[in-house]
């Protein structure tokens, strides 16, 4: 998704129509989840530990591993 699309969605989310805002917020959430997964995969590929990633996200190592560990991101060093 391009930045211009995200900007439009955020404008819609803060507009006067709550239903359109909810739909826009849901789309932004889906895009952020996708982006987070990509960045976790890249961090793991570069050798970052689950603990480093979890600390950056502000969640536990167990939570980040549960969410992303089953997607082929796990490396033997952890």
Residue 55 structural domain: 3-71
Cα separation, 56 vs 42, whole angstroms = 14
Residue 46 lies in a domain: yes
Residue 76 lies in a domain: no
Tens-binned pLDDT, residue by residue, of the chain (78 aa): 788 898 899 899 999 999 999 999 999 999 999 999 999 999 999 999 999 999 999 999 999 989 998 655 444 444
Alpha carbon distances (Å) from 72 to 4, 19, 37, 69: 32, 37, 12, 6
Name the pTM for this structure.
0.78
Structural domains counted in the chain: 1
**Residue-level pLDDT at 78:** 45
**Residue-level pLDDT at 72:** 56
Q: DSSP secondary-structure letter at 46?
A: T
């Amino acid at each position: 998704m391009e930045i211009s699309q995200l900007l439009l969605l955020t404008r819609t989310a803060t507009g006067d129509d709550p239903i359109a805002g909810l739909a826009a917020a849901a789309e932004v959430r889906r895009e952020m989840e996708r982006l987070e997964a990509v960045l976790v995969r890249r961090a793991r590929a570069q050798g970052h530990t689950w603990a480093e990633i979890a600390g950056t996200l502000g969640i536990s190592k167990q939570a980040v591993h549960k969410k992303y560990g089953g997607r082929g991101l796990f490396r033997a060093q952890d």
